Amino acid sequence: MSDLGRTADATSRAVAAAAAYPPGGGYSVDQAFAKPLAIAEGALPSFFVVGPPRTGSSWLYEVLRPHALLPIHSKETRFFDTHFQRGLKWYLAHYERSGGEGRMGEVAPTYFASPPARERIALTVPQAKIVCVFRNPVDRIISLYRVKRAYGWIPWSFAEAIQRDPELMESGRYASTLKLWQRAFGAHNVMAGIYDDLWNDPQGFVNAIADFVGIRRFSLADWQYGFVHDSDRMTQPRSYYRTRTATMVANWFKARRMDRAVSAFKRSRFRHLVLGGGAPFPKLPEKLLTQLQKEFLREVYDLEEMLHRDLSAWKVRDEQLLAAATSE
């Protein structure tokens, strides 16, 4: 039996035992699941790239996949934020041993702003290495909005979405959330990268991640210098309800570990029946973008201080607005 198989079997028995604990025994549901998960830590991920979303995570998944043990067929398992109660056997089914000695990891950008994900990982793999990548917060929110709108996750305009979808704004609280990850895992186990560095020097950026998570450095191929899943080319869906239905069906398949079928559909010509084909995204009002810059200005300042890094390109240009924001 493989290491993963033995771990899953042992964990299943331990989860059953944990479930038998009487109420009031001092264990939360998450602790009951996380405690047995930690039994065989060597067969669990040793690193997590936690995002936030739209910071090059899909590209990182593609370039790291030949050199580390990552989930197959689908980049994200959503285990620690959405599917935790499905158990370890469900989680480990997303991985495949290749016979190599690569580090096991997960690229999971939805974990960054998820308190349950952070707490569950800390309970399960307390010594894990955590990689965060930060991007100009306004650019990133626009990109995330376009993806959510294009895939039918939300029906709203941008102005409505930033009021009604908490993830858009919460995933931009960089410094505040980074501190929470550092507190949970120790600052020495949390790496904070900058998307601008990935863009300007992909090889150097990947080298830094490889060194941090403990995998051997590797050279990027020429084709890997391109960037995938660029939201600039996305459009609104031709039919929101059709796209929304397709996304819900895909999530249903993924929850049942049928990621291979979803990946095959995305590569097929039928994907155009439900993705894209609608109107281009309209240009956003400059006033709204300026308001967003003001909203995140304190976070940018705090991140600069934490990283000892000049992030002037992310700041508000208007000096009067800058003075007003910093005085609040």
Distance CA 121, CA 111 (A): 10
Q: Provide the CATH topology of domain 3-234+281-326.
A: Rossmann fold (3.40.50)
pLDDT of residue 223: 85
Q: For the segment 108-138, what is each residue's pLDDT rounded down to a tens digit? A: 999 999 999 999 999 999 999 999 999 999 9
Rounded CA-CA distance 181/198 in Å is 21
Alpha-carbon distance 104 to 42, whole Å? Answer: 9
Cis amide linkage into residue 137, ω under 30° from 0: no
pLDDT at 317: 54
The residue with tokens 């690193």 is 47
**Residue 165 confidence (pLDDT):** 97
CA distance 288 to 205: 32
The residue that leads in pLDDT, 232 or 12, is: 232
Asked if pLDDT for residue 236 goes beyond 50, the answer is yes
Please say if the pLDDT value at position 17 is more than 80: no
Check: CB of residue 200 under 8 Å from CB of residue 212: no
- Mapped onto helix, strand or coil, the DSSP state of residue 239 is coil
Give the pair of three-digit tokens for residue 209: 């991640």
pLDDT at 262: 74
- Of 40-54, 65-79, 190-204, highest mean pLDDT: 190-204
Beta bridge partners of 190: 130
Mean pLDDT over residues 66-74, rounded? 90
pLDDT attached to residue 110: 97
Cis peptide bond upstream of 22, omega within 30: no
Contact criterion met (CB below 8 Å) for 122 and 50: no
What whole-number distance in Å separates Cα of residue 151 and Cα of residue 145? 10
Q: What is the pLDDT of residue 42?
A: 61
pLDDT over 80 (residue 75): yes
For residue 98, the model assigns a pLDDT of 46
User: How far is 48 from 81, CA to CA, in rounded Å?
Assistant: 13
Q: Whose CA is closest to 132, among 232, 43, 47?
A: 47
Angle at 282 between CA 281 and CA 286, to 5 degrees: 130
Lookup: tokens for 31: 């602790």
* Residue 84 reports pLDDT greater than 80: yes
State residue 82's pLDDT score.
94
Instruction: Specify the pLDDT at position 34.
Output: 57
- From CA 236, how far away is CA 253, in angstroms rounded? 24
d(CA 86, CA 327): 48
Model confidence pLDDT, tens digit, residues 175-234: 999 999 999 999 999 999 999 999 999 999 999 999 999 999 999 998 888 765 566 778
